[in-house]
A and B are shown apart, each in its own frame.
Chain A
Amino acid sequence: MHHLSARCAAILDVAATDIVPELAAASPERWDAFHAIVDLALEERPRGVRRQFAVFLLALALLPLGRFGAPYPRLAAERRRRVLQWLQDRAPGRLRQGFWGLKTLVFMGYYSQGAVAGELAYRPSFSGNEHLHA
């Protein structure tokens, strides 16, 4: 990824599989598409926002050290889930907003892939009215 360091990208990948479990078993092509979408989204954001996102990923990695004794990427899945749940529901404003941003980027990277649509039972058609009463 062009807009994240290797360390940040590795943290992102672990968080991505916790947020969208399907990514854990995704093909290399789907991961490539995921990274490309996230990278482009970061590219379109101001440099300050990109920097904030990288700082948030580093904070995410270090946050559990005190409580669980290991950085986020090395925790067991259940503990990682608890860290993310805390970030979503109880963290102070900026951290909570950072997690919202992380989640949004992960969802964008996965759910906006055209190849995923069929697995979501989402198959729109330009002539949708023809399917209304099928």
Chain B
Amino acid sequence: MRERNYDVVIVGSGAGGGTVAKELAPLCREGARIAVLEWGAKLTEEEFACPPEGRELAMARKLYFESGGVFNAERTMTMAFGRAYGGSTVVYTGTSLIIPERTVARWAVPGLVSEDLARRSRKVMQENNVHFLEEEALNDNNRLFRDACERLGYRVEQFPINVKGCRGAGLCNLGCPNAAKQGTNRVQLPAAERQGVEVVTNCKVLRIAEGEVLARVANPPWGLPSAWEEGEVRVKARIIVVAAGAVNSPALLLRSHLPVRLPALGRYFTAHPALILVGEHERPISNYFGHPKSFYCDHFAESHGFLLETCMYFPFTTAKNLVGFGPEHSELMRRMDRLQMILVLAVDPALPDNRVTIDASGEPVVHYRFTEGVLDSLLESMKASARIFFAAGARRIHAPAGERFFIEAHEAPRLDALITRRRLLPGRISIASAHLMGGCRMGDDPDTSVTDAWGQVHGLPWLYVADGSLFPRCSEINPYVTIMALADRVAERVRSRLVEGKAA
């Protein structure tokens, strides 16, 4: 088997891995050897420019695990997470929020304070050109949401986003065709490579152990070929940073049979279970032109456990999120240009039984059950969204837990009777997740956590985690900035460990 030698190996190139790579890159000048091993491919600019027609499936296959439809073991939720040079930062919308102080307080991780995360968040937001879009760049879908929330007295805020030269293709979740979104594929990874970090794509890490990583390189039929030859490779490394995401990081640690007892490994997985809701307007509105996600409403976050965000999805994604079939479903689908859309995110609790395990071949299996509280939140979110759609002027709406496929505007006063819990059956309605968190949670007790507040795995000074799996509970906001802020801390600790090692 071929062998390679590095000081640091980083597994994954998304928000966490990309940040660690960029922060450690200056060490290359002093002779440090650093490699990022990324399972996914690096797409060419021509591939990112795949035409809008038929783009949904073509890009989903290239950029997501299982085209964005990974099931939980109970088959009640699908999970979307990226696999590419840049990880999930290639397929997010770039919404950039600093985690609220109250959430960090709930996390209650000794040694992790809100001010530190906020400072690091501001640093990465500056790197990523985070700013507010101007009013003239907002489409109707977004403005209608904001105006309706204000009319109803719901607190609504604009999302800062991380774009540079956005032309409003509205295709963020399928990889930006205009290279405008400032993911790690555009900012941190190129910066790291310029300084000497090697990024190896199409490289799946099979196992890790002290001092070494076992990986396999296999080129898919898309993207650039890997810098390494196809086949298995043993990579020697003094320090390993795992940043493969909240599903694959715990799975990698589990199948590596680490020489320490970590009963919390894989557990306390959270997902912000999400619904996509639609309202139909009488006339066309601008919805698929322009950036899709400009506003969020956190009015119900504390009282009812959900957030609402603007969104605009593609035909297949829209179709599968409507409950129903046949003529009514088709009728609504033929009016994509009249649809206003809202994304619901439920604030879910971190429970030990919601967890990542591995199957006989070492692949991840996510066990996730919805609590009654989460189902209550989803029900209330449909009613709140219906009120927003109607306040925005929609003629009718579709609620997945609706007693009928359509609820007409004149029925708005009867929402409690028309959107009911008996219709909210997991497996009947489409619940998805793109915010995967936990599984390697931070803390100071090895019985209930996996790493310390700096991402070091308990008892293993050579092993760090730097991604959303570190979250002890859900983030209650879009998580990528927080992942980068935590990864910045991990990089700081790894840097001092390397320097200490050199001095010793």
Contact = CB atoms under 8 A, between A and B. Distances in A.
A117 interface: yes
B288 to A, nearest CB: 5
Given A96-B428, A112-B316, A120 B75 contact: no
Given A100-B428, A117-B315, A132-B286, A122 B167 contact: no
Nearest to A93: B427
Q: Is the interface of A mostly helix, strand, loop or mixed?
A: helix
A125 B57 contact: no
A44 interface: yes
Nearest to B170: A128
Given A37-B57, A129-B168, A124 B137 contact: no
Nearest to A17: B326
A103 B325 contact: yes
Interface in B319-353: 319-320, 323-327, 329-330, 333-338
Given A108-B57, A121-B334, A124-B289, A132 B315 contact: no
Interface stretch (A4-12, A18-26, A59-67, A68-76): A18-26
Given A107-B319, A111-B316, A121-B284, A129 B166 contact: yes
B320 A108 contact: yes
A116 interface: yes
Interface in A91-134: 93, 96-97, 100-101, 103-104, 107-108, 110-117, 119-133
**A84, A107, A123: residue with the most chain B Cβ atoms closer than 10 Å:** A107
Nearest to B178: A126
Contacts of B372: none
A126 B76 contact: no
B381 to A, nearest CB: 20
B430 interface: yes
20 contacts: A19-B325, A37-B57, A45-B66, A81-B326, A89-B425, A93-B427, A112-B54, A117-B52, A120-B315, A124-B169, A126-B167, A126-B169, A127-B168, A127-B169, A128-B170, A128-B289, A129-B166, A130-B167, A132-B137, A132-B168
Contacts of B53: 114-115, 117
Contacts of A117: 52-54, 315
Interface in B157-207: 166-171, 177-178
B40 interface: no
Interface in A1-54: 18-22, 37, 41, 44-45
A133 B286 CA distance: 8
Given A97-B76, A113-B54, 6 more contacts: A19-B329, A21-B327, A44-B67, A111-B319, A132-B168, A132-B286
A94 to B, nearest CB: 8
B56 interface: yes
A97 B284 CA distance: 34
**B57, B136, B139, B167: residue with the most chain A Cβ atoms closer than 10 Å:** B57
A114 to B, nearest CB: 3
A96 B314 CA distance: 25
B290 interface: yes
Nearest to A115: B53
A19 to B, nearest CB: 4
Given A44-B67, A96-B425, A129-B289, A120 B333 contact: yes
**B51, B75, B324, B335: residue with the most chain A Cβ atoms closer than 10 Å:** B75
A84 B325 CA distance: 9
Interface residues of B, number: 54
Nearest to A20: B330
Interface of B: 49, 51-57, 61, 66-67, 69, 75-76, 136-137, 139, 166-171, 177-178, 284, 286, 288-290, 314-316, 318-320, 323-327, 329-330, 333-338, 423, 425, 427-428, 430
Nearest to A106: B325
Q: Is the interface of B mostly helix, strand, loop or mixed?
A: loop
A9 B336 CA distance: 30
Given A89-B428, A124-B170, A18 B67 contact: no
Interface of A: 18-22, 37, 41, 44-45, 81, 84, 88-89, 93, 96-97, 100-101, 103-104, 107-108, 110-117, 119-133
Counting from the closest, the 8 A-B pairs by CB-CB distance are A114-B54, A114-B53, A129-B168, A128-B289, A128-B168, A122-B336, A121-B337, A107-B319
Contacts of A41: 67
A131 B52 contact: no
Contact of A96 (B170, B327, B333, B427): B427
A124 B178 contact: no
B325 A114 contact: no
A68 to B, nearest CB: 18
Contacts of A93: 427
A116 B57 CA distance: 13
Contacts of A133: 136, 286
B428 A125 contact: no
Nearest to A103: B325
A119 B334 contact: yes
**A45, A88, A114, A124: residue with the most chain B Cβ atoms closer than 10 Å:** A124
Nearest to B137: A129
Given A112-B316, A124-B171, A128-B169, A44 B66 contact: yes
A44 B323 CA distance: 25
B323 A88 contact: yes
A37 B338 CA distance: 27
A13 to B, nearest CB: 15
Contacts of A125: 52, 169, 289
B428 A129 contact: no
Contacts of A21: 326-327, 330
